[in-house]
Structure 1
Amino acid sequence: MTMGIDPKDLSEDDLFRELRQLHATRTETLMHGSDEALANHTTRSEELEQEYLRRHPARDVDPERLRAGARLR
């Protein structure tokens, strides 16, 4: 169930804005939102993140964020 605009229909700028907003409000929703609010937040986050991954399959992955990179630290 998509809440709001279908992520496929968002411009690149709008997609990034939506992702930033959701990430900024995640902890507040987790700690103080109702079960329904948390479920909706999770669903919307997954929809937007999947759209980002669809658009950017070869995104720049920081080697430091990989297990091997962490072991080197």
Structure 2
Amino acid sequence: MAEHDGGPAAGRLEEGRLLKELEAIHRTRHETLLYGSDEALVTHTQRMNELEHEYVRRHPQRAQTAARTRSGARARTGEG
């Protein structure tokens, strides 16, 4: 992936920098949604997706909490 206005390509980031970029983009998401221009929201979404996909690519066996699955959510709400 090439460099772009949103920062270096996610695939080129070392692990610590990738995590810092993810923390920063998640921290600013709500404010961008509420107050950013349409263009800012599109750009933010694209960068967030790029970073998240890179994280998942690197960590396909990442820890998952049962409560964060569909069946876990149904158990919490009494469905199913």
TM-score, length basis structure 1: 0.91
CA distance in 1, matches of 2:10, 2:70: 30
Aligned length: 73
Per-residue CA deviations over 1:10-66 (Å, capped at 9, x if unaligned) read: 111100000000000001000000111000000000000000010001111111111
Structure 2 gap segments, 5+ residues each: none
Give the greater-gyration-radius structure (CA): 2
Using the aligned pairs only, state the percent identity. 51
Of structures 1 and 2, the one with the larger relative CO (CA 8 A, separation 6+) is: 1
TM-score, length basis structure 2: 0.84
Q: CA RMSD in A?
A: 1.3
Deviation at 1:71, TM superposition (A): 2.8
Structure 1 gap segments, 5+ residues each: none
State whether structure 2 residue 31 is matched by structure 1 residue 28. yes
Which residue pairs with 2:54 in the alignment? 51
